[in-house]
Structure 1
Amino acid sequence: MRIAIMGSGAIGGYLGARLAVAGHDITFVARGAHLAAMRSHGLKLESPLGNVNLSRIRATDTPGDVGHVDIVFFTVKLYDSETAAAAIVPMVGPETRVVSLQNGIDSVETLARLVPPSRVIGGAAYISGYIKQPGVIVHVGGATQFYIGGQHDPVIGALLAACIQAGNIGLQTVEDIDQALWTKFVTLCAFSGATSLLRSGIEPILTDPESRMFLDQLRDEGMAVAKAAGHPMQDGYEAHAVSVWQDLPPDTRSSMANDLLHGRPLELAWLSGRMHTLGSELGVPTPAHTAVYRALHLYAKGQTKLHG
């Protein structure tokens, strides 16, 4: 398949590396030092499931030069969504599918303003990783699970086959992608808010009684917001969320926590900030998410490095 990775960070880099090794035609869209390193030295993936070293890859900062592809994996940070969505338009042909694996619940709507809605496929990614240095992606372990829509779409069927061939990509289609997106949203907002505000990996938060109460409160507020929005969590969700967190390596922090630590812009407005706004609109109290949003708002645009 011809696949473009729009946003070649932890998620896009992982998928692109695995699929490239399997022989698929992959173009990585990136920028800055990360792009320069990939052009010069290729891309390295460090993973407990097996390392990948791609010495020669196709990498660009100009999507218009790529041409039509079968799949665009849309994995940019949420604050870059509008600009990136406009940039992918030249890569979208009549049979292209744009698979969004962003955080939050707004990606499909954003993309559908610029790409025909029938070609946009929502998705939720459960994978933890980061850019170790330009040209080097680290997958820290835990799940590599991706849930996407398009259950009866032949192009998505071909993508599923490609992922099975590549291995170590747990891609599966679901009938109700909206519910999958909301489940990820509630789970991630709690994990992201707690690890960011508490400046800690997940295991100390789970084992400290007061910190655990804060994490649980963030989760429960998200559940209440989701229910009020018409997307209640399924029975047993509380235990499911805890199992997701417990399966992560002990020191794992959310991508927002890592961005905060390194002075980069935050996805705050689309995570705890979105919970805060939705709670206000729906009449659902969200004191924990509001605390995360207000406490981190000073750092939302990046530039201020923290230690810890």
Structure 2
Amino acid sequence: MRICVYGAGAIGGHIAGRLARGGADVSLVARGAHLAAIQSNGLTVQAHDGTHHSRPKASADPRELGPQDAVIVTVKAPALPDVAASIAPLLKSDTAVAFVMNGIPWWYFLGHAGPHRDMRLPAVDPGGALEKAVGLPRTIGGVVYSASEVVSPGVVHSEHGNIRVILGEPDGRISDRAKAISAVLEAGGMPSPVTPEIRLEVWAKLLGNLGNGPICVLTRRGVRDSFADPLLRDAARRSAQEAQAIAAALGVTLPDSHVARVAGANMAHKPSILQDLELGRPMEIESLFATPLHLARLTGTPTPQLDLLVALAKQAARAAGLYPEIT
């Protein structure tokens, strides 16, 4: 199975390493020093089950990689317009494209039953570029849990064994194409359940992103260090409860155990949005923070704490030149 990972950073690199270990013909779209190192020395993934080395084909130009059976998009949300502009050479008529990312996905309401059916989200798909370039029929939703970091060019370190990639069709089918990608990942040592409720999984991950992301951006510390203050741990719980309420207003019921998981988090890992702030990279504020709050306003869901924390996190991003100033 020919699978291209588009965006081989920490998460994409880990997924690519697992796909190669599972027997796929893997290629990567990457850039910079990370790309150069992979081209010269291959890709190394340091994980709980050992160190895995592979030699995938890698390029900054999808035209050099050719048509694929599947593409797994793992870029950060601000890079999606670039994906839309350049993904075409990777696509055959039946190529599946799995968007394995954080935040509210561009396809969330397309074909979805309910009062907001087919509503577009221009903040996460400006101009409908992804819908035009990829389209809903090709699209598979994805959620990833993998505390990973690029520790040096070509080398990805995964902090612990609680890893998984959850895949699901937007229309709720358990499709052969999703099962095929899942089988390769699982053969490579990464659990990959296929779910009929991918939107529920999107919100389950978002509870953590909203619970710890704004707080860690403001403290500039990882989850464990931030939550050492009981007041901040309680604030994370309240943020997760507000996110739970937004999901419920959209018809997604998350059990209270998901909120408890966020409040009980004890990992040293820094959320990716904090890593981006520290490294001066574009931050996923729109998909992780702003769009969920837009949906809160759309559904009339009160989110007073998230409103404040996200406003402060935006100011921290503005101070670093990573978010537009208020005009």
TM-score, scaled to structure 1: 0.88
In the alignment, which of 244, 267, 270 is matched to residue 287 of structure 2? 270
- For 2:269, the equivalent position in structure 1 comes to 252
1:161-180 maps to which residues of 2 (within 5 A)?
161-167=183-189, 169-180=190-201
Which deviates the most, 225-234 or 98-107?
Answer: 225-234
- For 1:64, the equivalent position in structure 2 comes to 63
1:279-294 maps to which residues of 2 (within 5 A)?
279-294=296-311
Give the partner amino acid of 2:283.
L
- For 1:35, the equivalent position in structure 2 comes to 35
1:294 shift after superposition: 2.1
1:142 shift after superposition: 4.3
Distance 1:129 1:5, change over 3 A: same
Give the partner amino acid of 1:53.
H
Cα RMSD over matched residues? Answer: 2.2
Which deviates the most, 12-21 or 100-109?
Answer: 100-109
Give the partner amino acid of 1:170.
P
Give the partner amino acid of 1:130.
E
Is 2:253 the counterpart of 1:236? no
- For 2:89, the equivalent position in structure 1 comes to 90
1:29 shift after superposition: 0.3
Is 2:131 the counterpart of 1:112? yes
In the alignment, the residues of structure 2 paired with residue 205 and residue 173 of structure 1 have an alpha-carbon distance, to the nearest angstrom, of 33
Secondary structure, counterpart of 1:130 in structure 2:
strand
In the alignment, the residues of structure 1 paired with residue 183 and residue 154 of structure 2 have an alpha-carbon distance, to the nearest angstrom, of 27
In the alignment, which of 187, 209, 212 is matched to residue 191 of structure 1? 212
1:195-234 maps to which residues of 2 (within 5 A)?
195-234=216-255
Contact 1:196–1:253 under 8 Å retained in 2: no
**Identity between Structure 1 and Structure 2 (%):** 30
Secondary structure, counterpart of 1:79 in structure 2:
helix
1:235 shift after superposition: 5.1
In the alignment, the residues of structure 2 paired with residue 146 and residue 18 of structure 1 have an alpha-carbon distance, to the nearest angstrom, of 11
Give the partner amino acid of 1:216.
R
In the alignment, the residues of structure 2 paired with residue 101 and residue 107 of structure 1 have an alpha-carbon distance, to the nearest angstrom, of 12
Deviations for 1:231-290, whole angstroms, at most 9, x for unmatched residues?
2323533234446x34xxx31110001111222221112212223333333332323322
Distance 1:127 1:194, change over 3 A: same
Secondary structure, counterpart of 2:146 in structure 1:
strand
1:69 shift after superposition: 0.8
Give aligned pairs, total. Answer: 299
- For 2:12, the equivalent position in structure 1 comes to 12
- For 1:182, the equivalent position in structure 2 comes to 203
In the alignment, the residues of structure 2 paired with residue 51 and residue 179 of structure 1 have an alpha-carbon distance, to the nearest angstrom, of 33
- For 1:133, the equivalent position in structure 2 comes to 152
In the alignment, the residues of structure 1 paired with residue 52 and residue 68 of structure 2 have an alpha-carbon distance, to the nearest angstrom, of 23
1:59 shift after superposition: 0.5
Secondary structure, counterpart of 2:248 in structure 1:
helix
Contact 2:236–2:263 under 8 Å retained in 1: no
Distance 1:303 1:199, change over 3 A: closer
Which consecutive residues of structure 1, in runs of 5 or more, have no partner in the other structure?
none
Contact 1:74–1:99 under 8 Å retained in 2: yes
In the alignment, the residues of structure 2 paired with residue 290 and residue 239 of structure 1 have an alpha-carbon distance, to the nearest angstrom, of 21
Give the partner amino acid of 2:181.
L
In the alignment, the residues of structure 1 paired with residue 183 and residue 281 of structure 2 have an alpha-carbon distance, to the nearest angstrom, of 36
1:73-88 maps to which residues of 2 (within 5 A)?
73-88=72-87
1:304 shift after superposition: 6.0
Distance 1:147 1:80, change over 3 A: same
